[in-house]
Amino acid sequence: MTATYESKEQMDATMVATLTQMMESQAYRELAAAQMFGYGLQFVPEIKWLKFMTWHITEEMEHYEVVLRMYKRFTGESVEPKVQARLAKKPIDFASSWFELAMAQFLYDRGGFWQLREYDECAFLPYREIITKILKEEAGHQGLGERIVVELCRTGRFDDIKQAHFNKWFKQGMLSFGRPDTDGNRYAISVGLKKRDSGAVMQDFVDDIKPAVLASGLHFPRPDEISLEVPKALNLSLEGIDSSKAQGYERASEDSAD
């Protein structure tokens, strides 16, 4: 059975460094998401989606604050300067339309959800507790971005731009998992900080969104087209996928029949 930990005093230097980096990366993702969705509010067309997006931004900020407090307790320092420096060096892309914002909400947010699931049995118990809370809250809106994307794509009004936007935000979602098959992955798994290699999580994420990809008339780009490092065996095929399983498929089909 893998050992569990309550404080960094129980850990060696490598484990402390690895966990510190994990927290810094999560803090960056939470704040980056809040900023990206906040910028995108100007493009939201209806009150029902404005309410959803503003709620989502608030939720991301609450998650950011939770990670800040955990990091402070763990390291004795604030993570905010590190997050701000990383955002300055590597700012998150902003959406430039309602359609692109929906694509970002679908893929960037879904990628983050799958990434966090790898930490829900984390050997550092305070981190496990926080991840469990975040996952429970995130699960409540995982289908909404997919629904919007599928409905919009199936109108035919975005055929000239949808694949480019998909490629862009698919890459961002996949980058959430980190590079596959690395020493860092193997170490984190060996000490119980995460469950599986990044490559395995990439496949689960891809499989999860396949019905929406097919229903939207999209295809997965070749990894080299978008400068993405993935396992050689990653299965991007849409053969045998049921597009009717996608969120929004039924509504889009009803609208097209009217």
Q: How is residue 227 annotated by DSSP?
A: T
Q: What is the mean pLDDT of the chain?
A: 92
Q: What is the pLDDT of residue 14?
A: 96
pLDDT in tens, 109-154: 899 899 999 999 999 999 999 999 889 887 767 788 899 999 999 9
* Residue 123: closest CA among 56, 63, 195, 55: 195
Between CA 223 and CA 205 the distance in angstroms is 15
Q: What is the pTM of this model?
A: 0.90
Q: Is the pLDDT of residue 1 over 70?
A: no
**Contact by Cβ (8 Å): 150, 246:** yes
What pLDDT is recorded for position 256?
45
- 13 Cβ contact partners less than 8 Å away, ≥ 6 residues apart: none
* pLDDT(195) > 90: yes
Exposed, middle or buried by CB within 10 Å (0-12, 13-18, 19+), for 93? middle
Please give the pLDDT value at position 92: 86
Q: Where are the domains of the chain?
A: 8-257
Q: Among residues 128, 137, 172, which one has the least CA distance to residue 59? A: 137
pLDDT at residue 258, as a whole number: 41
64-117 pLDDT tens trace:
999 999 999 999 999 999 999 999 998 888 999 999 999 999 999 899 899 999
| CA–CA gap between residue 207 and residue 211 (Å, rounded) | 8
Q: Please, are residues 1 and 48 in contact by the beta-carbon 8 Å criterion?
A: no
Considering the domain delimited by 8-257, tell me its CATH architecture: Up-down Bundle (1.20)
> To the nearest whole percent, how much of the chain has pLDDT over 90?
84
- Residue 201's pLDDT is 96
